[in-house]
Amino acid sequence: MNSDLARILIPRERIAQRVRELAREIERTYADTEDDDLTFVTILSGSLIFLADLIRELPLRMKIGLITVSSYRGATTASSGSKLLEDLNVDVKGRHVVLVDDILDTGGTLRLVRERVAQAGAKSIRICVLLRKPSKAPPDVTADFVGFDIEDAFVVGYGLDYNDHYRNLPDIGVLRRELYMT
């Protein structure tokens, strides 16, 4: 499976270190929030490994919510719009929410989820992404917490997939060009 990577972009040790730093940033941000009961909404399936590592570094009172969005990539790497596949499974009314996603690319996925969570009555919404691509995202979709800014390459591993494979790779790497259609 590793031989399907052109190269490793972010090795597991750097991911782990940065996840710890992000956790400290998030902790500081919510330190003065008087009703300090948060909900972390993870956007499946890409962010499940990131979420699992992140929240174990966070000594905050929290609940976890799940929402499933398809970014319609299938066997290609180009985004063609996002669609809600499974709705939010928890009540976020009156709660502070952190949306967690693997990567911010065109912003379509996070915009959709943010609208859904706002409609459900969240008190505040912040966005945390592990990766951000050179911003194709429109100015209305910005992340509050960002792990790494990366080049405009198609990456897999640590939860990120190509056609639902490679999520279990512990490092983040660039998929070999000949393995995908753009």
Least Å distance, CB 84 to ligand IMP, is: 12
Q: Is 87 a catalytic residue?
A: no
Q: Which of residues 136-155 bind Mg ion (CB under 5 A)?
A: none
Strands of 155-156's sheet in order across: 5-10, 172-175, 155-156
Query: Which residue, chain included where needed, has tokens 């912040």?
Result: 126
Taking the least distance from each CB to ligand IMP, the nearer of 46 and 65 is: 46
Residue 82 binds: one of Mg ion, ligand IMP, none (C-beta under 5 to 8 A by kind)? ligand IMP
SS3 assignment, position 145: strand
- Under the criterion CB under 6 A, does residue 128 sit at the interface with ligand IMP? no
Catalytic residue among 36, 102, 105, 140: 105
- Under the criterion CB under 5 A, does residue 46 sit at the interface with Mg ion? yes
- Say which residues have a Cβ less than 8 Å from residue 80's Cβ, sequence separation at least 6: 72, 73
- Under the criterion CB under 6 A, does residue 109 sit at the interface with ligand IMP? yes
Which single residue brings its beta carbon nearest to Mg ion?
46
Least Å distance, CB 157 to ligand IMP, is: 9
SS3 assignment, position 86: strand
- Under the criterion CB under 6 A, does residue 159 sit at the interface with ligand IMP? no
Q: Shortest CA distance to 100 belongs to which of 75, 135, 63, 136?
A: 63
Give the span between the Cα atoms of 126 and 142, in whole angstroms: 9
Active site residues: 105
